[in-house]
Structure 1
Amino acid sequence: MNEEAIERSYRDGDFGELAYLHAPVGLVVTENRVIRDCNLMFARMFGYDRGALRDQLFAILYPSQEEFVNIRNRGIKDLRETNAYWDERVMMRSSGALFWCRVRGHSFTPDEPLTRAVWSFADLSETRPYQPLTRREREVMSLLGEGKTSKEIARVLDLSFRTVEVHRGRLMRKFGVKNTAGLVQALGGLGGAHMVPHGDGAPRG
């Protein structure tokens, strides 16, 4: 949007396109998980031109096809009941780099929430750098985020207490923290219910 168009928006009091294009958070409009349009921040966040993202299946922004499929039903219940949903998940830039982002959704078709919807994406890279984790490390991390002790995690995952402690120690080294409280803080206090971790733990790119 050029200066003339911005001036016209202020003169006419019509700020819809201006606010959408230049919002300081990524915005994307979808239809059946296809990107119909996105704003400038969303395109920059993922390293694409806006035009290159239009009419693309959202799968191109996920680390794997499996994760794109697995996350499909997450949040549908909330959208149907309250038309509000959020989570924090790992996504992939055009370069192949993985990063954490916070996702919020609103459906225009609540009975079938993914038919037509609008989503916001916030890049969390500055506060939560991506760390590749094994499946067990992700499970332990998520349960720690729910406030469970190592003994409780051992029972949930059918592991020995010592094995859980080994995983916890590795997580502390990866995140550069000294205790469990530091691990939870590294997740921004996020509880397991809204944490959607990367599927295979392996970096891409």
Structure 2
Amino acid sequence: MDSETPFDSEDLAELAYLHAPIGLVVTENRVIRDCNFAFAQMFGYGRDGLRDQLFARLYPSESEFANIRDRGVDQLRETNSYWDERIMARRDGTLFWCRVRGHSFTPEDPLARAVWSFADLSRIRPYIPLTRREREIVSLLAEGDTSKEIAIALDISHRTVEVYRAKLLKKFGVSNTSALLNCLAGVYQDHIVGRD
């Protein structure tokens, strides 16, 4: 039996990166330069299928990528740390919740070079089909925005935001925004409807 282990013959940093139990990806200006096995598997690709690809391909639509792509840039510039939870798309088109954390190597231009971790939240937060507009509104509610602030951000009327908000409360079977956000955070799993 050979006494040499992978730890003896390979770079430990490379081993840790490639085999980390969470998805890791290195980006330059929103282009995937490299990713580990967990990241590629999470999205249903091989590593080679993601290298040098635009991050937009991992979102439900181009418009959703455009909606979220600049979120966190100011925070990265100020603190060099960012995280959120968002809906992403696998290669086969299925959607899932993902926790994203980022660190920039170039804080003055945060997206020029960065490293990100991605955790699949499917086991604790099943995806519930929402329209793109519902996802936008939920995302802004989670940031603490009021209906008026959401209306301004999305260039829609305050009343339209209230209608969407009421539909979301009904869809999740809750009576207020706090309970809605708790459902989306996986706190009250009994209120989360599984996918058909």
Question: Which TM-score bucket, shorter chain as reference?
Answer: 0.7 to 0.9
2:62 corresponds to 1:82: no
Please tell me the residue identity of whatever aligns with 1:108: F
2:55 to 55, 58, 62: 58
2:23 corresponds to 1:23: no
2:137 corresponds to 1:125: no
Q: TM (normalized to structure 1)? A: 0.72
Aligned position for 1:8: 6
* Alpha-carbon distance in structure 1 between the residues aligned to 2:71 and 2:47: 26
* Alpha-carbon distance in structure 1 between the residues aligned to 2:134 and 2:65: 21
Can you list the C-alpha shifts for 1:141-185, whole angstroms capped at 9, x where unaligned?
Answer: 45664678xxx748975329xx94x6555434533x444354222
Aligned position for 1:37: 34
- Are the equivalent residues in 1 in contact too, given 2:34–2:51 (CA < 8 A)? yes
Change (3 A) 1:83 1:133: same
Other structure's SS at 2:64 match:
helix
Following superposition, the deviation at residue 139 of structure 1 comes to 6.0
Gaps of 5+ in 2: 152-157, 188-196
Q: Identify which of structures 1 and 2 has the higher relative contact order when contacts are C-alpha pairs closer than 8 Å and 6+ apart.
A: 1
1:116 to 113, 117, 121: 113
Can you list the C-alpha shifts for 1:47-103, whole angstroms capped at 9, x where unaligned?
Answer: 001111111111111111222233232111111111101111111100011111111
The number of residue pairs the alignment matches comes to: 178
Identity among equivalent positions (%) equals 62
* Alpha-carbon distance in structure 1 between the residues aligned to 2:17 and 2:149: 48
* Alpha-carbon distance in structure 1 between the residues aligned to 2:38 and 2:73: 26
Choose 58-67 or 178-187, whichever is displaced more: 178-187
- Are the equivalent residues in 1 in contact too, given 2:26–2:115 (CA < 8 A)? yes
Q: TM (normalized to structure 2)? A: 0.75
Taking only aligned residues, the RMSD between alpha carbons, in angstroms, comes to 3.1
Aligned position for 1:71: 68
* Alpha-carbon distance in structure 1 between the residues aligned to 2:129 and 2:86: 13
